[in-house]
Each structure stands twice: as C-alpha cells, then as structure tokens.
A and B are shown apart, each in its own frame.
Chain A
Amino acid sequence: MTTADYERAPHVGPGTPSHAEKLERIWETAPGFYGWLATVDHKKIGIRYIVTAFAFLVAGGIEALVFRVQLAWSEMHLLTPEQYDQMFTMHGMTMIFLYAGPILSGFSNYLWPLLLGARDMALPRLNAVSYWIYLFAGIFLYASFAIGFGPNVGWFNYVPLAARAYNNGPNIDMYGLGMILLGISTTVGSINFIVTFLRLRCPGMSINRVPILIWGTLTASAANIFAIPAVSLAFLLLWMDRNVGTHFFDVGAGGSALLWQHLFWMFGHPWVYAIVLPAMGMVSDGLPVFCRRPLVGYTAVALATIATMVLGFGVWVHHMFATGLPGVSLGFFSAASIIIAVPSAVGVFAWLATIWTGRPVFTTPFLFFASFIVLFTIGGVSGFMTGSVPVDWQLTDTYFVVAHLHYVLIGINVFPVVGAIYFWFPKFTGRMMDERLGRWNFWTMFIGFNLGFFPMHISGLLGMPRRVYTYGEGMGWDWLNLVTTLGSFLFAAGVLLFFWNAIRSLKHGVTAGDNPWDAPTLEWATTSPPPPYNFAVIPKVATRHPLWEDRLDSGQGAEQSRIHAGMALAHGREALGTTPVDAMPNVILKMPGDTLVPMYLALSMTVIAVGLALVNWWVVVVGGACTTASILAWLWPQARLGETAEPARETADD
C-alpha cells in the first residue's frame, strides 16, 4: 500500500457524450419499485418532499374551511366544541410542522446541489432517511385524529390542559411522539444542509458567491439543530409525566407549567423564522431574474438573514407576555422583538430597490414574489405592534393574532412557495406552467387572502377571541366573519387553480429548454429536468451569476466561470469536496448509491414511537433492536465508499 493508492489527480476536460453516458449508468436510480424505495437522488427526494407537503397543505386547508363554515355566522352548530378544538389544533400543527417546514426542505433538497454545482447532497442516505421519517411522522400524527382522538389543546399544547388529568386519551401522546420523530427528521436534514454547504460548493464558489436561498436554508438549519432539542425534550418529558409518573409540569407536586412554555417557545420562535427565511431566500433569488438585474444589496440581505435568526433566539418570551413574568424580562424581550424588525426591513428595502432599479417583467412568478413584499410588510407591522407589551396584553389570544400569523405564514411562506413552483417548475419537469391560468391563479389567491384575513384584524380589535367554536349573536362580529369565510373559500379556490395548472402543465405545458427565464445561476446550466448526476463535469465559478457574465462583467480580462469543462470524476459515484470558506478542491468523495437501509431505519424508529404510544415495552425493544441493526448496517465501513484500508478498485476505462 502506498500513498498513491489513496490519491488521484482528476482528469479535467469537456463533458463529452460518452462521458455523460457513463455517468448516467453510474448515477441513475434502479428502475421499478425497488428504485422507488431505495433512491438517494436529492432531486427525487426533493420532489417527494414537495408533493407530500402539498398533500398536508390540502388536509390543513380542508380543516380550516370546515371551521370557517362553523364560524361564518353566530351560534352555528356544524361542529361540537370538542370537534372544533381538534380541528384547529390539527390545522395549526399540520400547517406549521407538516407543510411549512417540509415544503422548504423539499425546495432546498432539490435545488441546493444544483445551485452549488454539486452532484448530490453531502449525505445522500441521511437525506433519504429524513424524508421517510417525515412521511411516517406525518402519518403517525394523523393516526389519532383519524380514530377520533386528535390533539385538542392547540398546536403549542400547553400544560396543564395537556396533562393526563384533563386529557386522558391517546391524543396528546401521539402528538408528542410524532413531534419527536419529526424533530429527528428535521435535525438530520439540517445537519445535511450544513455539511453540504461547508463541503460541496463547486470550486470558486466562495461564501460570498452563494445564492441567498443557500443563506436562508443554512441559517434555518443552524437554528434548527439548536432549537429542536428543546421541543423534543419538552414532549418527551410530557410523555413521561403522563405515562410514568414524573412531575416536571405538575404544579401540584412542585413542577412548573411555565417550564413547558419556556421549552416550547425557545424552539417555537426560532422555528417560525426557520419556516420563512428559506422562502425569503427564494424570493431574493427569483425576483431579480424578473427585474433583469442582480439583487440590490446581496451582502446586506445575507447578513440580515443571519441577524434575524440570531435575534430570533432572543424573543421567545414575547409569546408569554401575559403569563405574569417579571417586568425586566418583559422589557428585554419586548425590545428584542421590536429590534428584529430592523433586519427584516433591510430585506424589504433590498427587494423594493431591485424592482425600482430593474426592468420588471410581469410574469406569474413576479406577481407572487412582489405581492409577498406587501403581505410581509402588513404581517411585519402587526407583529411589531404585538411585540410591544401593552399592545400585546390587549390583543393576545384575539383574532388580531390570527390575522398576524396568517399574514406572516401565508404571506412569507405560501405566496413565495407558489411563485417558486411557477419559477422552477420548468427545471423540475421540463415544461412551463400556463401563464394565463397563472394570472387567474394569482389574483384569486391574492384577493381571496386579503378579503379573508384582513377583516380578522378588525374582529380582533373588536375583542373576538381565537379558539372559540362559536360566538353570541349580539357581539356584532357576524358580518366580519361572513366576509372572512367567503374570502377563505376564494383563497382556497385560488390554491385549487394552482394545483390544476401544475397537473395540466405536466402533460400539456410548453417545452421549457434549459434556461427559459434567462436566469443567472447554475441550476439553469443543466438540462430540464437535470440528469441524475446534475453536472457532467464539476463547474468552476468566478462570480455570483455565472450565466450572466457575458453581459455584466464583460471585458477587462475579468475571470469567467467555466461550466462545460472541468473535473470529470467518473471512477464510480464521485463528488468533489472543497474547503469550507474558499471552496478550493480538497478531496474526492465516494458517494453512496441506492439502498433500503434509510427506509428500514425510519420504519424501526416509527415502531419505537408506536411502542411508546401504546406503553408496550416489547414493541419498543423490537423497534430499538431494528434501529440498532439498521444503523450498524449503514455505518459498516465499505471499501466502495473509501472507508477502509483497502483501496477502492478504479475502473480501467479512464
């Protein structure tokens, strides 16, 4: 054994057709059902994430429409109070945890390697396991609702209402254990994003050249790995309080109910930013394409993204202003909640300046991205208002807060996401979505949303509390609620138009070509849809906008990006690892291929959760043993992956 066995100077050259064919053989997923279960291709996983998250959006939307009918007029009795409680809890939980987070993971999974000029995520198997756990956790979370015992105390599940004494069914346990599973999925996904960022950027992509979406997802991921343990722990402690007799939250026995609130919101508020920052990133990257110029203030926006997240860890107490905490603490957290408006404003001004100084093209994605700025501003202002303690005392637990959170979540998540689908659909599928239907889609959603949710500000100011299953006749809230319900249905119709457009365009859309929008970043340098290996040769970039260099940095011997010639890396599944800051070539990584182990692992962990829900230790032990076996199989060092002393056999033909 010599040093040479573990080193190789990669060939550099143009990507010829025969080279591409060879890569295709190496990278393609096996056909059939096996391939469907075993794939680790980030593009397939990304699409799965997106489709699954939309399915949950539909579920959560139907729940909302049902209770909007109930609230349309005073004294309605479509739902019993218990059913209403389950409905709004499932709605909040579904939207926040099963739709808003995962949909962004889906986009990032699909787009990251393409944006970074890489062949896959750094840890493809971890990517697969992250999806499977998400799917199983989602099914698990819906299982108790399906048998009539849905969680019923709101998505933040406050004790003592969530304690055994007041909630004796399987509902709270299923919610908690499902959340722990989902937390594992999000955590491993986040680790994967961070490692991919640090290791797989193509040569030349120093950290000041990555697209803003990368910054958004990276910051969210970093926040997740610190925030998620808080909520997973809180749910586990609650499970123990309920099932094995501990006293963490049991005030009667010396525990503390506020401990729950602290642990929940230490996670909860950073999470709220985690489900908006990547969406803002998509706007920061997509909007400039339709303004025909680079984003104004790239560095400011990237730094503002990080600043928002850092401050986001210091504001959790603003969800607890009305719990009787000491004044100093209120003052501090109120200040932090108000200061956080500053980095948000940086983003708004950057987007406005981009539109102002650009030459806007009014396509459907542009409409969605631009309307996001409006909705974000309205949601930001109402948030800023409740960030102030006296205002919050007046408005907390009213429909004002419901209006605020929907402007933020629908405005910063749903609108950018729909715009992003219009924008990247041609890359995902090779076809364009219909533009005329797109406009109908946009205006229905936009008008429906504002019609439905703006009046909630007023019903809130008039004192209508949230989470009530009905209200008295004389309260004077009837007309406002009727308008809200009508608006909600119009909004839902808009979302339906969107799905209709997407499904129809899959078959009948105009063929897109590689770069239909004439956009500047690397994903548009591949075919639509991209081949399994993404890039035949590893690109080398010299600027933030490799495909716009001819018009932006022309002349004066400016360094040019090189996309169609570069390292070939075709001795099996290979990717290039680079250094964390400057992205200099550092190592040739051996990448894993199709495998069922991630799915087995996810299943085994779900079995543990089922065992804990049933409080049946045998099931837990079986699940634990299967989990251990899957992990062992996963980590067993393989020569093919360059993990053992035996040098990987190199194929002879290059």
Chain B
Amino acid sequence: MTEETTTALPVGAMDTRASGWWAMIFTVFTEAALFAYLLFSYYYLAAQPHLPGSFPEGGPPSLTLALPNTIILILSSVAVAWAQLGIERGSRGRLVLGLGIGALLGLIFLVVQGFEWADKPFPLSSTPYSSLYFVVTGFHMAHVVVGVLMLLALTWWSALGYFNSRRFAPIHIGALYWHFVDVVWLLVFFTFYLTPHLGLSS
C-alpha cells in the first residue's frame, strides 16, 4: 500500500522520546508535591506554641552523621550521572559500574540513617516533633529503598546487555527518579538539621 513515504522516524523507546520518560517527569512532580506537603506540615506545626526544648525535641539535631551521609547521597547521584554519560557514549562497562556504585552508596545511606534513628533519644510517639522527624525521614528512606531497588534492577539489566548507545531510555528514567530522591533529601536535611541551628526552634 505504498503510495508515498515520509522521512524516517525512530522506533520504540528512544531516549527522551519514550512515553515512560514523560510519565516519570510527572511522577516526580506529584512526589515533589507530597514532600512539599510534608514540609508544610513541619513548618506549620513548628509555628504552634510548644514547651521550651520540645521542638526540636532534645535541641537542634547533631550533624555528625547527617552531614557525611548527605555527601554520600550526592556522590551516588554523581555515580549514576557518570553511568548515564557512559552509555550515551556506548560504554556498557561504565554503565554497569556507575549504577552499581550508585546503588551501593544508596544502601550505605540507608544503613547510616538506621544508626541515626537508633541514636535518637525519643520514640515516634513522644511529641509532634518526634512524629514529624520519623515520618518525614521515613518517607524519604522509603523513597531511597525504591530507588535502590530500581538501580539494582537497572544494573542487572545493563549487565545482561539490554542497553546500548541508542536504546537506553530505562536508564534515564530510573536516574531521573534517583536524582529527585537526592534533591529532596537536601530539602529534608535543610528543614530538619539546619533550620533549628538557624533559630527555628523553641
């Protein structure tokens, strides 16, 4: 039935033309909104009257673990970005390695967060602050868990040779989510760890 032909078009899930890429952008929007509401709840409750020293409970939180951990998370984003550039240049080795390192650093972040939680002198049910602290950081950790699972799956698929320099949309889609999870941490970190040192406490 060939009467005329048009110019050639790419076929399938190609780079940012994949529908999944667009879907992930809007997933990130809705997740960002979720964290915005979480942080809104924090600031809203912070602005209510509290007993002295109960917001944050036990005074401004220590940065000893949280700061290095933040750096670990940023590094994992860098590793993933390095993997992304790698596959665009056709290097499958770099892809597998970068994603693997990214996942590993994500796991380390989770372990350190576990210590941070165990260190807290208050339980979840102590005050509004303790509720906020565990729930908001818990929400973020849940996102890290999802992200690590995603990176592990991508590492595995990359090792199986599923991707090359033209077909790598799933990598970019997963990476977008991972970078988002890292950026959100910066906001959570700023809110919980820095603002009390800047004077937002009672």
Which residues of A does B touch, CB under 8 Å?
1, 3, 6-14, 16, 19, 122-123, 126, 187, 190-192, 194-195, 198-199, 225-230, 232-233, 237, 240, 244-248, 250, 253-256, 259, 262-263, 266, 565, 567-568, 577, 585-590, 628, 632, 635-637, 641-645, 648, 654
Chain A residues with CB under 8 Å of B127's CB are: 247, 253-254
- Residue picked from B3, B19, B30, most chain A C-beta under 10 Å: B19
Chain B residues with CB under 8 Å of A259's CB are: 41, 44-45
CA distance A1 to B161 in the complex (A): 13
Q: Could you tell me which residues of chain B, from 116 to 155, have a CB within 8 Å of some CB in chain A?
A: 124-125, 127-128, 131-132, 135, 149, 153
- The 8 A-B residue pairs with the shortest CB-CB distance in the complex, in nearest-first order: A642-B12, A245-B125, A246-B131, A229-B34, A645-B164, A225-B30, A13-B3, A587-B17
CA distance A198 to B45 in the complex (A): 39
CA distance A194 to B5 in the complex (A): 30
Chain A residues with CB under 8 Å of B70's CB are: none
Flag whether B10 is at the interface (Cβ < 8 A): yes
- Report 26 cross-chain contacts, Cβ distance below 8 Å, ordered by A residue: A6-B167, A8-B9, A12-B3, A13-B3, A13-B4, A14-B1, A123-B19, A226-B29, A229-B34, A233-B38, A244-B125, A246-B124, A254-B55, A256-B128, A263-B37, A565-B3, A585-B6, A590-B12, A641-B12, A642-B14, A643-B12, A643-B13, A643-B170, A645-B166, A645-B167, A654-B1
Q: Could you tell me which residues of chain B, from 97 to 131, have a CB within 8 Å of some CB in chain A?
A: 124-125, 127-128, 131
Rounded to whole Å, the gap between the CB of B82 and the closest CB of chain A is 20
Flag whether B83 is at the interface (Cβ < 8 A): no
CA distance A550 to B59 in the complex (A): 75
Closest B residue to A588 using CB positions: B11
- CB-CB contacts of B1-37 with A at 8 A, as 1s and 0s? 1111111111111100111101100110111011011
Quick check: A247 and B128 within 8 Å, CB to CB?
Answer: yes
Rounded to whole Å, the gap between the CB of A411 and the closest CB of chain B is 30
Partner of B30, one of A191, A195, A199, A237: A191
Closest A residue to B49 using CB positions: A254
CA distance A567 to B6 in the complex (A): 9
CA distance A3 to B164 in the complex (A): 12
Closest B residue to A648 using CB positions: B12
Flag whether B54 is at the interface (Cβ < 8 A): yes
Q: In the complex, given contacts A230-B37, A256-B48, what are 15 additional A-B residue pairs having Cβ atoms less than 8 angstroms apart?
A: A6-B14, A11-B2, A11-B5, A122-B22, A195-B22, A198-B22, A247-B127, A248-B131, A256-B44, A262-B40, A587-B12, A642-B13, A643-B169, A644-B167, A654-B1
Partner of A642, one of B50, B131, B135, B167: B167
Flag whether B190 is at the interface (Cβ < 8 A): no
Closest B residue to A565 using CB positions: B3
Chain A residues with CB under 8 Å of B170's CB are: 635, 637, 643
Chain B residues with CB under 8 Å of A16's CB are: 1
Chain A residues with CB under 8 Å of B40's CB are: 262-263
Quick check: A645 and B163 within 8 Å, CB to CB?
Answer: yes
Quick check: A6 and B33 within 8 Å, CB to CB?
Answer: no
Closest B residue to A191 using CB positions: B26
Quick check: A586 and B9 within 8 Å, CB to CB?
Answer: yes
- Residue picked from A16, A226, A250, most chain B C-beta under 10 Å: A226
Quick check: A233 and B12 within 8 Å, CB to CB?
Answer: no
Quick check: B153 and A632 within 8 Å, CB to CB?
Answer: yes
Q: Could you tell me which residues of chain B, from 48 to 78, have a CB within 8 Å of some CB in chain A?
A: 48, 50-51, 54-55
CA distance A14 to B31 in the complex (A): 45
Quick check: B19 and A195 within 8 Å, CB to CB?
Answer: yes
- Residue picked from B12, B14, B44, B157, most chain A C-beta under 10 Å: B12
Partner of A643, one of B27, B55, B125, B167: B167
Quick check: A10 and B9 within 8 Å, CB to CB?
Answer: yes
Chain B residues with CB under 8 Å of A590's CB are: 11-13
Quick check: A648 and B11 within 8 Å, CB to CB?
Answer: yes
Secondary structure type dominating chain A contacts: mixed
Chain A residues with CB under 8 Å of B2's CB are: 11, 13
Quick check: A226 and B33 within 8 Å, CB to CB?
Answer: yes
Closest B residue to A574 using CB positions: B11
Quick check: B44 and A262 within 8 Å, CB to CB?
Answer: yes
Quick check: B37 and A587 within 8 Å, CB to CB?
Answer: no
Rounded to whole Å, the gap between the CB of B145 and the closest CB of chain A is 10
Chain B residues with CB under 8 Å of A585's CB are: 6, 9
Chain A residues with CB under 8 Å of B30's CB are: 187, 191, 225-226, 228-229
Chain B residues with CB under 8 Å of A246's CB are: 124-125, 131, 135
Quick check: B5 and A9 within 8 Å, CB to CB?
Answer: yes
Quick check: B22 and A233 within 8 Å, CB to CB?
Answer: no
Quick check: A644 and B163 within 8 Å, CB to CB?
Answer: yes
CA distance A349 to B134 in the complex (A): 52
Chain B residues with CB under 8 Å of A123's CB are: 19-20, 23
CA distance A3 to B201 in the complex (A): 60
Chain B residues with CB under 8 Å of A262's CB are: 40, 44
Contact A254 B54, CB 8 Å, known A8-B11, A577-B19:
yes
Quick check: B17 and A586 within 8 Å, CB to CB?
Answer: yes
Quick check: A237 and B41 within 8 Å, CB to CB?
Answer: yes
Rounded to whole Å, the gap between the CB of B163 and the closest CB of chain A is 6
Rounded to whole Å, the gap between the CB of B171 and the closest CB of chain A is 10
Rounded to whole Å, the gap between the CB of B183 and the closest CB of chain A is 17
CA distance A255 to B14 in the complex (A): 49
Rounded to whole Å, the gap between the CB of A637 and the closest CB of chain B is 5
Partner of A12, one of B5, B10, B33, B128: B5
Rounded to whole Å, the gap between the CB of A16 and the closest CB of chain B is 6
Closest B residue to A228 using CB positions: B30
Quick check: A568 and B1 within 8 Å, CB to CB?
Answer: yes
Rounded to whole Å, the gap between the CB of A2 and the closest CB of chain B is 10
Rounded to whole Å, the gap between the CB of A348 and the closest CB of chain B is 31
Quick check: B26 and A225 within 8 Å, CB to CB?
Answer: yes
Partner of A253, one of B4, B13, B55, B128: B128
Quick check: A10 and B162 within 8 Å, CB to CB?
Answer: no
Rounded to whole Å, the gap between the CB of B115 and the closest CB of chain A is 22
- Residue picked from A577, A585, A636, most chain B C-beta under 10 Å: A577
Quick check: A248 and B128 within 8 Å, CB to CB?
Answer: yes
Q: Could you tell me which residues of chain B, from 145 to 202, have a CB within 8 Å of some CB in chain A?
A: 149, 153, 157, 161-164, 166-167, 169-170
CA distance A353 to B7 in the complex (A): 44
Contact A587 B26, CB 8 Å, known A226-B33, A259-B41:
no
Chain A residues with CB under 8 Å of B153's CB are: 632, 635
Rounded to whole Å, the gap between the CB of B137 and the closest CB of chain A is 13
CA distance A586 to B41 in the complex (A): 43
Closest B residue to A18 using CB positions: B1
Rounded to whole Å, the gap between the CB of A123 and the closest CB of chain B is 6
Chain B residues with CB under 8 Å of A245's CB are: 124-125
CA distance A494 to B69 in the complex (A): 64
CA distance A232 to B17 in the complex (A): 31
- CB-CB contacts of B79-95 with A at 8 A, as 1s and 0s? 00000000000000000
Rounded to whole Å, the gap between the CB of B113 and the closest CB of chain A is 19
Quick check: A229 and B44 within 8 Å, CB to CB?
Answer: no
